[in-house]
Amino acid sequence: MKKIVLIFTLLTLTFGFQTFASTVKVSPLSSLLNTYFDIKNALVNSDGVTASAKAKELVIALDAVDVKALTPADIQVFTSLKAKLTEEAKAIAGAKDITAQRTSFAKLSTDFYGLSKNVKISDQPIYYTYCPMTKNYWLSNDEAIKNPYFGKQMLTCGSVKETLI
């Protein structure tokens, strides 16, 4: 009898956890953050072609956000930043050189910080990082410094100023 109760309890817990896991929602804005990180990583690698391609993806992703899936507070924050984010992503996509891409990326980072600070777009820590040489910030999904403003020239220049959770 004890074995039957134990098996029943284990089955109940197993199916209960599976049901719980399937009901956890990922923010519709999480994909935006992932694409932002792709742009940042391309700039870290001084790869303007990939940065441009990822910026084009970001423009498409921004237009595809289903605002109906957001909370009213998140809708307000997102819609207040969407035009700027789109403009900055288009500037990165259309820039002919990496210096111009990095300048637009600084503006994109400022607005992504505003979005990330006010909307829960990740279950993982987001590191708000500062480059003292350019006096610009960026977001990272890794605490280790990989500077998108200088790439290999000054890869580890910078420091984490804030951790968003």
In one letter, which amino acid is 60?
A: I
Residue 81 lies in a domain: yes
CATH number where 67 lies: 1.20.120
Instruction: Please tell me the total count of domains within the chain.
Output: 1
pTM: 0.82
Q: By C-alpha distance, which of 85, 45, 44, 46 is closest to 65? A: 85
Q: By C-alpha distance, which of 94, 106, 144, 120 is closest to 33? A: 120
Per-residue tokens: 43: 């700039």
**Full domain range(s) for residue 100:** 26-164
Residue 17 lies in a domain: no
Instruction: Tell me what pLDDT residue 3 has.
Output: 52
Per-residue tokens: 15: 């199916």
Angle of helix 98-118 relative to helix 30-44, nearest 10 degrees, comes to 150
Using CB atoms within 10 Å of the CB of residue 102, give its burial: 0 to 12 exposed, 13 to 18 middle, 19+ buried.
Answer: buried
Residue 149 lies in a domain: yes
pLDDT band with cut points at 50, 70 and 90 for residue 27: confident
**Residue in the structure block whose two tokens are 């500037």:** 91
pLDDT in tens, 85-139: 999 999 999 998 999 999 999 999 999 999 999 999 998 999 999 999 999 999 9
Residue 13 lies in a domain: no
Residue 92 lies in a domain: yes
Residue 30 lies in a domain: yes
Using CB atoms within 10 Å of the CB of residue 112, give its burial: 0 to 12 exposed, 13 to 18 middle, 19+ buried.
Answer: buried
Strands 136-140 and 159-164: unpaired
Residue 43 lies in a domain: yes
Residue 4 lies in a domain: no
The length of the chain in residues reads 165
* Cβ(121)–Cβ(94) below 8 Å: no
pLDDT in tens, 37-73: 999 999 999 999 999 999 999 999 999 999 999 999 9
Hey, is 58 helix, strand or coil? helix
> Mean per-residue pLDDT for 7-24?
43
pLDDT band with cut points at 50, 70 and 90 for residue 16: very low
